[in-house]
């Protein structure tokens, strides 16, 4: 790259545009024209990859990402104010779920962000961009797994402070989270296991018992493809016949299966909470309320219901003295078991009042893109998260724990 190349727009800016209903395709066409005029402009290739993926063109976006990374492994997002800390994020190649979207946490901050992409099969370079603190920004995925294993050794001799250790990220697979947290008091994680199509077909054929495939499990089951998020391919199957039907309609070879647990509240509605743990301190991320067990914030009808938004506002306003206080011991133990400096947890509450952990991920999105008119309470809540994360970076950069 040369200084003549326009700066990177980056994920946060482009996703904000898409989130607000703006089509990215005219901008993508502009990016294409720039890339054709200068194939060495890695910034525009990276922005084009992001824009295509946000438009639902995942495969095309990943093809462009390959071109971008062939041109450069390093991408800069300068601080909006004079930088006091330089953060280096170690990234893996992959779609928009493969890495933590750190730019959202650093908008308007005095912290610069440098993204370095490590490719499978290559050694860590001896020279990396200048930085004050480094963060392993990869999510736990099949593609990232060998990179995280490699980094586990590489970071042992890292000369600068390190945030989010790779071995801790490896502990966030659904199966590992169950194994690590299942015996904690005040915490509920349903029996969860990775299973191959072959094993599940054998189960359907009566060649295996359920306990052989999912020890401690029982129907109904939740099933999803490995590495899936946001409800893609996620279904509840009531029995072997339903499981067989699910497999017939899926092209995947490996799945996560878990026992289904009814976590409906007394009013019959389901409530899912996103909690952000920054150096072990919990913060409210969001809350979704739905009549369906499979809640995702965008399908929970929060925009359409003033009553739901009022409940979320109360959750965020009272979080420290209510939810976080009620589950203080459980949250502290989850942090201790996983050992993540920064983590995002999707959870609920069981009828008995335990913390029901769905998923823990160091790469889930935490943002402030929602309409200020509809969600005025989110701005102060998100600002608490951003300030906590930025404070953590500054403490580590200064050599403080």
The answer to whether residue 301 sits within a structural domain is: yes
Number of residues that this document lists for the chain: 401
Residue-wise pLDDT tens digits, 261-298: 999 999 999 999 999 999 999 999 999 999 999 988 87
Number of H helices and number of E strands within the chain? 14, 14
CATH number of 320's domain? 3.30.470.20
Task: Give the torsion sign (CA, 296, 300, 303, 309).
Answer: negative
Q: Are residues 239 and 311 in the same domain?
A: no
Model pLDDT, residue 1? 42
Q: What is the DSSP letter of 165?
A: -
Of residues 3 and 186, which shows the higher confidence score? 186
The answer to whether residue 82 sits within a structural domain is: yes
Is the per-residue pLDDT at 357 higher than 80? Answer: yes
The answer to whether residue 177 sits within a structural domain is: no
Is the per-residue pLDDT at 364 higher than 50? Answer: yes
Number of domains, the chain: 4
The answer to whether residue 181 sits within a structural domain is: no
**Tokens 């390959």 -> residue:** 66
Residue-wise pLDDT tens digits, 301-331: 999 999 999 999 999 999 999 999 999 999 9
- Residue 17 CA to residue 30 CA, distance in Å, equals 15
CA-based radius of gyration for the chain: 22
Question: If you average pLDDT over residues 375-391, what whole number do you get?
Answer: 96
The answer to whether residue 230 sits within a structural domain is: yes
- Residue 220 CA to residue 380 CA, distance in Å, equals 40
Q: What is the pTM of this model?
A: 0.93
Tell me the angle at which helices 58-71 and 42-54 cross, rounded to the nearest 10 degrees: 170
Give the confidence band of 228 by pLDDT, cuts at 50, 70, 90.
low
Model pLDDT, residue 16? 93
The answer to whether residue 171 sits within a structural domain is: no
Beta bridge partners of 289: 271
Q: Please state, rounded to an integer, the average pLDDT across all residues of the chain.
A: 93
Is the per-residue pLDDT at 2 higher than 50? Answer: no
**Tokens 């990215």 -> residue:** 24
Q: What is the DSSP letter of 138?
A: B
Q: Are residues 373 and 313 in the same domain?
A: yes
Q: Are residues 65 and 127 in the same domain?
A: no
The answer to whether residue 315 sits within a structural domain is: yes
- Domain hosting 246: range is 191-259
Question: If you average pLDDT over residues 89-102, what whole number do you get?
Answer: 95
DSSP letters for 177-225: HHHHHTT-TTEE---EEEEEHHHHHHHHTTSS-HHHHSTT--SSEEEEE
């Amino acid at each position: 790259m040369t200084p003549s190349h326009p700066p990177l727009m980056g994920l946060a800016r482009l996703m904000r545009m898409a989130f607000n209903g703006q089509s990215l395709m005219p901008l993508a066409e502009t990016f294409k024209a720039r890339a054709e005029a200068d194939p060495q402009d890695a910034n525009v290739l990276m922005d084009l990859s992001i824009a295509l993926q946000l438009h639902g063109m995942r495969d095309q976006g990943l093809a462009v990402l390959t071109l971008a990374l062939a041109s450069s492994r390093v991408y800069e997002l300068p601080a909006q104010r004079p930088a006091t800390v330089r953060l280096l994020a170690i990234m893996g190649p992959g779609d928009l779920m493969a890495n933590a979207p750190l730019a959202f946490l650093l908008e308007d901050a005095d912290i610069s962000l440098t993204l370095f992409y490590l490719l499978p099969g290559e050694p860590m370079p001896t020279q990396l961009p200048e930085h004050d603190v480094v963060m392993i920004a990869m999510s736990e995925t099949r593609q990232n797994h060998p990179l995280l294993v490699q980094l586990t050794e590489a970071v042992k001799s890292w000369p600068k402070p390190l945030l989010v250790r790779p071995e801790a990220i490896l502990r966030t697979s659904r199966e590992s989270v169950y194994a690590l947290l299942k015996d904690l008091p005040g915490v509920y994680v349903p029996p969860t296991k990775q299973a191959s199509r072959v094993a599940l077909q054998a189960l359907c054929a009566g060649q295996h018992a359920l306990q052989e495939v999912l020890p401690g499990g029982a129907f109904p089951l939740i099933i999803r493809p490995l590495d899936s998020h946001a409800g893609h391919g996620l279904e509840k199957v009531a029995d072997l016949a339903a499981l067989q039907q699910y497999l017939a309609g899926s092209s995947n070879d490996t799945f996560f299966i878990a026992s289904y647990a009814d976590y409906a509240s007394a009013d019959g509605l389901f409530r899912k909470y996103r909690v952000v743990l920054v150096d072990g301190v919990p913060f409210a991320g969001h809350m979704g309320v739905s009549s369906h067990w499979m809640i995702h914030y965008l399908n929970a009808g929060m925009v359409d219901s003033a009553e739901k938004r009022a409940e979320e506002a109360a959750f965020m306003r009272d979080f420290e003295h209510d939810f976080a206080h009620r589950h203080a011991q459980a949250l502290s133990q989850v942090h201790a078991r996983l050992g993540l400096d920064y983590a995002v947890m999707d959870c609920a509450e069981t009828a008995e009042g335990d913390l029901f952990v769905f998923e823990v991920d160091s790469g889930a999105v935490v943002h402030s893109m929602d309409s200020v008119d509809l969600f005025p309470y989110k701005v102060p809540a998100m600002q608490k998260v951003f300030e906590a994360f930025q404070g953590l970076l500054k403490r580590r950069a200064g050599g403080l724990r």
